[in-house]
Amino acid sequence: MGKTPLNIALVGYGFMGKTHSNAFLQAPRFFDLPYQPVLKAVVARNAGRVHAFAGTWGYESAETDWRAVVERKDIDLVDIASPNDTHAEIAIAAARAGKMVTCEKPLGRTAAEAQAMVSAVEGAGVANMVWYNYRRVPAVVLLKSLIDEGTLGRIFHYRAQFLQDWTISADLPQGGEGLWRLDVGVAGSGVTGDLLAHCIDTALWLNGSITEVTAMTETFIKERTHTQTGRKEPVGIDDASACLARFQNGSLALFEATRYARGHKALYTLEINGEHASARWDLHDLHRLQWFDHRDEGRVRGWRSVHITDSDHPYMKHWWVPGLQIGYEHTFIHQFADFLQGLGEGRSTPPTFRDGLATDCVTDAILKSAATRQWQTVSAASVKVG
């Protein structure tokens, strides 16, 4: 029986536009899905480059204004992979036009923006999802099951870091391709919304709601040339962010994100310590879960490094033979496969926009705490839903 076509319009053709396009193409090749993604249109402002991108990835058409695809009758899903300042406007218009909407993280530049996006998709009743892709790493999914089954027992501690080093040079401008992440007007915040948001999303998913935070942020390079004006302008983003937090379940957390950790390129690590067991995961070694179980026989008790490549590990039966690894791009493929599976069952797949809002509520509280030097209660909207 033929699959139902799902016509996609992608907005944005940067690094994330590629990860999403790859997922649209690969998901139906490796997973048995109720829908067949059709790459209908790609949108970006630069006409020459958007046509080239359409050719490379097999999009049927290219547009330079996102409004065109929102209006098109032959589009089912609008996928937003453009800079953060465009997320809300496009998502709200697409939802109002009855399109399904998927959006890169962070959902909004602020929780208020994210709230408006949630109201739009929920009001229109359209499927929605935020691309917090690290939830789809097989080792992290396995950890989620172990936690949910109670294997770790009562949770005491959660800690996560996301360390990079690519903005240390003071010569780097703010604004423009990739570097819009340094422009607070476009990005909304610095590492808090970009990197710490990943740590928070995974933490809310694994360990439940965060109730309060105390944080500090720092901007190490105070002025950078702005690509729009050609002049040195003050830098409004946070270059580093560190935070203590309490979870609803009584456990304590430590979070850190920076782009000034020389030598670290994308070192996302997390650790969780429970009454019976602890686990550690590291993006640079993403197919391994480090596991310690206190109930093991004393003489051989110790940390084990589990290679998550067997067919009974999450997602792995869809890939190669046991022992062979997968990588970063597969997390997007898994996420899109789950999205299509969810559509087939008539539901949105987490993380939904409401989950994205929950993360934005925590990052807003972190930024407010850093600005006021006070503990902040996290708003009720951060209640974890999926």
Report the residue count for the chain: 386
- Give, as ranges, the residues between 147 and 166 that touch ligand SOE (CB under 6 A): 164
Site string for ligand SOE, 334-363 (x = CB under 6 A): ------------------------------
Nearest one of 36, 30, 32, 48 to 6, comparing CA atoms: 36
| Shortest Cβ 138–ligand SOE spacing (Å) | 17
3-state secondary structure of 289: strand
Contact yes or no for 128/100 (Cβ under 8 A) = yes
DSSP 381: G
Size of the site for ligand SOE (CB under 6 A): 3
Nearest one of 113, 139, 130, 199 to 351, comparing CA atoms: 130
Q: Measured between alpha carbons, how far is 70 from 187 in angstroms, rounded to an integer?
A: 23
| Shortest Cβ 327–ligand SOE spacing (Å) | 13
Describe the crossing of helices 15-30 and 328-344 by its angle, rounded to 10 degrees.
60
Q: Which two tokens stand for residue 301?
A: 């008790």
Nearer to ligand SOE, 166 or 320 (CB): 166
Nearer to ligand SOE, 183 or 194 (CB): 194
Burial of 312 (0-12, 13-18, 19+ CB in 10 A): exposed
Nearer to ligand SOE, 63 or 239 (CB): 239
12: left (phi over 0), alpha (psi -120 to 50) or beta: left
Contact yes or no for 105/356 (Cβ under 8 A) = yes
| Shortest Cβ 42–ligand SOE spacing (Å) | 20
Of 266, 267, 306, 381, the one binding ligand SOE (CB under 6 A) is 266
Of 63, 76, 183, 194, the one binding ligand SOE (CB under 6 A) is 194
Nearer to ligand SOE, 199 or 378 (CB): 199
| Shortest Cβ 313–ligand SOE spacing (Å) | 22
Nearer to ligand SOE, 194 or 338 (CB): 194
| Shortest Cβ 104–ligand SOE spacing (Å) | 8
Nearer to ligand SOE, 266 or 383 (CB): 266
Nearest one of 310, 315, 348 to 331, comparing CA atoms: 315
Q: Measured between alpha carbons, how far is 121 from 348 in angstroms, rounded to an integer?
A: 11
Nearer to ligand SOE, 189 or 214 (CB): 189
How large is the C-alpha radius of gyration of the chain?
A: 21
Residue nearest to ligand SOE (CB): 194
Nearer to ligand SOE, 97 or 283 (CB): 283
Site string for ligand SOE, 41-80 (x = CB under 6 A): ----------------------------------------
Q: Measured between alpha carbons, how far is 377 from 94 in angstroms, rounded to an integer?
A: 33
| Shortest Cβ 64–ligand SOE spacing (Å) | 24
Nearer to ligand SOE, 69 or 114 (CB): 114
| Shortest Cβ 276–ligand SOE spacing (Å) | 31
* 168 contacts ligand SOE (rule: CB under 6 A): no
Nearest one of 374, 379, 370 to 215, comparing CA atoms: 370
| Shortest Cβ 194–ligand SOE spacing (Å) | 5
Q: Measured between alpha carbons, how far is 153 from 146 in angstroms, rounded to an integer?
A: 10
| 260 alpha carbon, distance to own chain's centre | 21
| Shortest Cβ 335–ligand SOE spacing (Å) | 13
Binding site for ligand SOE (CB under 6 A): 164, 194, 266
